[in-house]
Amino acid sequence: MRDWSKIKPDHRAILENVDARSSALDLGCGSGELMEILSEEKSVKVQGIEIDEKEIRRCVAKGLSVFHGDIDTGLSEFSDSAFDYVILNQTIQQVKNIATVMSEAARVGRTVIVGIPNFAHYIARLQLFFLGSAPVTRSLPYKWDETPNIRSLSLKDFREFCAEQGFRIDKEFFLSGKRRAAVLPNLLADTGIFFLSKRG
Amino acid sequence: MKIEENKAILWTGDNPLELESGGSIGPVEVSYETYGNLNEDKSNAVLVLHAFSGSAYAAGHKKKEDKPGWWDSIIGAKKAFDTDKYFVICSNVLGGCSGTTGPSSIDPRTDKPYGLNFPSITINDMVEVQKRLVDNLGIKRLLSVSGGSMGGMQALAWMVKYPDSINSAIVIAASHRHSPQQIAFHEVGRQAIMADPDWNGGNYYDKSVPAKGLAIARMVGHITYMSEQSMEEKFGRQRKDKGQPFKFNADFEVEHYLRYRGDSFVKRFDANSYLYISKAMDQFDASKGKTLESALKGHKYKTMVISFNSDWLYPSHHSKEIVKACKRAGVDVTYCDIDSKYGHDAFLLETEDQEHLIKHFLDKVRKDL
């Protein structure tokens, strides 16, 4: 067992809120860090989809099951409710057809877990206002010309998106570094984690 | 690394192997090699499956051979198929010409080579022979079956036919059934052989062999194994043999290469084996008309599927079909489309990437036993 206090805050929020021995699909799983934690700490049966071959190699080195491919097309191959959870952690800001991917994720998984960096975090706001530059923060660490993100969104934007698209927010966690941001999350949280399910 | 070369008679004339086509054949002798040591509980055996023109000579470098075994780059001590940990088995396929019973073997009824009296064989028949070999070695469950191209097709056949006899399968640059394009290239090869007067209805063993036809078949094969880019880099428009008197000499480097490959193939391969094996590949359908998903459903083994993005003969989307079927069937699968410029040949050349993937995959399979 690892020391949970050393786990990245977003990973920890997810780890603490998934059921042991459940199944999960991690979209844009990167090097498989979260998958490894879920598998080892809660025996979650987890698979990943990742576009980058170098990351696939890292996942395989950890003994994880991964598919090399893009998220936009990789989801359609799974049957309905194939997983307890479909995870998009730090992924949707890089996805092209977000509404399609979200609705596919809700078809394939009973719960959709989304983790996003908050573009409206107060430090980002201050940088934009006082420095006049595109923000570079803890959760948005890239300069504008190096970022893989194709969209910038705030926690408020995402909640509105969920309402429009018919997603119910079952749980939400707002993180400010290692702490929880209990008040004014759209201002004080750098990251949001949402547990969603489709209405009806 | 401990290497053993062996032969085994698995079926006799009185008790022949019943074939998928309805025919039968006996005796069936199999040539196989093993690398490393079988552990006490016989749980560390890996069966590697050769491609079209391969043989049981998969690893090591024998004195009598020019080249090391066909997968020597990844079979051996500390390599992907680590012979310090695993007992690696490779056998020549049924219908082959490197020690296992095939059309060039002696038919006991006539005391002459079978030629076209050899019955039609399938990929599943090849697997049947491998299964009995493994049984005879006392191995109940293989740690893994693994192969590229036709070897990958055999691995798929194992997944469907003997799911409880394997813990894992590695399917590289393969298709679960041939496309018309793949069949078409094979047909050109077969027609080249049969158009050679020396082929003589398959009856040439005491005469001159259909060297021209078989060489042309191999030349076509080699074109399909390379990508445009790898040909460009390897040959460009470089010329050889300048100023020869005959108009149609092999003056381009690529022509020279293909002729050389064709001619050297004739020295080691039997034309009738070419016909039988290529037909077996074309007729293969892993799930026999059903969906592959239904044929894989409920099986507990782990699977790794590998393709190469410049392979146009066994293109990545064929591998993705296999992966999709695994996903839908609930079979544990990992897939990697390796970035390579070598085309289909990549499965023998891109060893560093495969080494990494296979090594870690097998480690995981072994840990989960």
Q: What is the pLDDT of residue B242?
A: 64
Name the residue with tokens 């993705």.
B320
**CA of A96, closest CA in chain B: separation in Å?**
22
ipTM: 0.90
Q: What is the pLDDT of residue B156?
A: 98
Question: Which of B302, B335, B360 faces A67 most closely, judged by CB atoms?
Answer: B335
Q: Does residue A105 lie within any of the structural domains?
A: yes
Cis amide bond preceding B27, omega within 30:
yes
**How much is the CA Rg of chain B, to the nearest whole Å?**
20
How large is the average pLDDT for residues B181-209?
Answer: 97
Q: What is the pLDDT of residue B307?
A: 98
How large is the average pLDDT for residues B226-239?
Answer: 94
Q: What is the pLDDT of residue A169?
A: 96
Q: What is the pLDDT of residue B294?
A: 96
Q: What is the mean pLDDT of chain B?
A: 96
Q: Does residue A158 lie within any of the structural domains?
A: yes
Q: What is the pLDDT of residue B106?
A: 97
Residues of B with catalytic function: 149, 311, 344
Q: What is the pLDDT of residue A181?
A: 85
Q: Which CATH number does the domain housing residue A182 bear?
A: 3.40.50.150
CB B130 within 8 A of CB B47: yes
- Report residue A182 as tokens: 């209990």
Other beta carbons within 10 Å of B44: 22
Domain hosting residue A33, numbered range: 4-118+153-198
SS3 content of chain A, % helix, strand, coil (to 5): 40, 25, 35
Handedness of CA A52, A53, A57, A60 (dihedral sign): positive
Q: Using the 8-state DSSP alphabet, how is residue B100 labeled? A: S
Q: What is the pLDDT of residue A138?
A: 83
CB B172 within 8 A of CB B80: no
Q: Under CATH, which number does the domain B3-176+285-367 receive? A: 3.40.50.1820
Domain count, chain A: 1
Q: What is the pLDDT of residue A6?
A: 93
Could you tell me the CA-to-CA distances from B143 to A28, A170, B42, B293, B355 in Å, in that order? 30, 43, 9, 23, 17
Q: Please indicate whether residue B251 or residue B124 has the higher confidence score (pLDDT).
A: B124
Q: Where are the domains of chain B?
A: 3-176+285-367, 182-280
CB pairs under 8 A between A and B: 50
What is the band of B244 on the pLDDT scale with cuts at 50, 70, 90?
low
Could you say which residues of chain A have pLDDT below 50? none
Q: Does residue A46 lie within any of the structural domains?
A: yes
pLDDT above 80 for B129? yes
Interior CA angle at B26 toward B21 and B28, to 5°?
Answer: 100
Q: What is the pLDDT of residue A1?
A: 75
Best mutation target among B335, B355, B357, B365 (most A Cβ atoms within 10 Å) is B335
Q: What is the pLDDT of residue A152?
A: 87
- Report residue B39 as tokens: 């552990």
Q: Which CATH architecture has domain B182-280?
A: Orthogonal Bundle (1.10)
> Measured between alpha carbons, how far is A103 from B115 in angstroms, rounded to an integer?
60
Q: What is the pLDDT of residue A200?
A: 61
> In this predicted model, what pLDDT tens digit does every residue of B165-194 receive, in sequence order?
999 999 999 999 999 999 999 999 999 999
Cross-chain residue pair A60–B327, CB shorter than 8 Å: no
How large is the average pLDDT for residues B327-340?
Answer: 96
Check if B302 contacts A (Cβ < 8 Å).
Answer: yes
Q: Does residue A98 lie within any of the structural domains?
A: yes
Q: What is the pLDDT of residue A141?
A: 87
> Measured between alpha carbons, how far is B357 from A169 in angstroms, rounded to an integer?
39
Q: Does residue A110 lie within any of the structural domains?
A: yes
Q: Does residue A124 lie within any of the structural domains?
A: no
In this structure, chain B runs to a length of 369
Q: Does residue A130 lie within any of the structural domains?
A: no
CB B264 within 8 A of CB B66: no
Q: Does residue A134 lie within any of the structural domains?
A: no
Q: Please indicate whether residue B108 or residue B240 has the higher confidence score (pLDDT).
A: B108
Q: How deeply is B78 buried, as exposed, middle or buried, from its count of CB atoms within 10 A (0-12, 13-18, 19+)?
A: exposed
Cross-chain residue pair A57–B353, CB shorter than 8 Å: yes
Look at residues A160, A190, A161, A163 and name the one whose alpha carbon lies nearest to residue A177.
A190
Q: What is the pLDDT of residue B273?
A: 98
